[in-house]
Amino acid sequence: MGLDAAIFGKDERRLASKRIGNLTHIGFLRDAATAILGKESVVVTKVLYSATHCGDSLAGAELELLARESQILQSSSESDVRSFASDMLDLVHLALKHETTILFV
């Protein structure tokens, strides 16, 4: 059990996906993100709040917030947090390029 994030094109073809992690890893990332960004951040409330929130998506202004917060997380001393942030930035850029959403599966 765990959480993945994916980008789908207009034709519903999967363009990219990233594994975020299992239950334990999501908890670790959530704690680290909360310490850096606060408990009301998009990363905490929309991405890392659960390891099993399939079907949720981020679009529009939420993608911009996710990008800003991910850039902040890239300065973490934890390599797993930096890797998560890099993955989120990759997905945000692709979602914006294709004018679509990030879907959690």
In the chain, the amino acid numbered 84 is F
For residue 82, report the phi and psi dihedrals to the nearest 5 degrees.
-65, -40
DSSP string, 30-44: HHHHHHHH-TTSHII
Is there a contact between 74 and 7 (Cβ–Cβ < 8 Å)?
A: no
Is there a contact between 3 and 53 (Cβ–Cβ < 8 Å)?
A: yes
pTM comes to 0.94
Residue 66 and residue 64: Cα distance in Å, rounded?
5
Residue-wise pLDDT for 38-94, tens only, equals 999 999 999 999 888 888 999 999 999 999 999 999 999 999 999 999 999 999 999
Is there a contact between 15 and 94 (Cβ–Cβ < 8 Å)?
A: yes
Residue-wise pLDDT for 79-94, tens only, equals 999 999 999 999 999 9
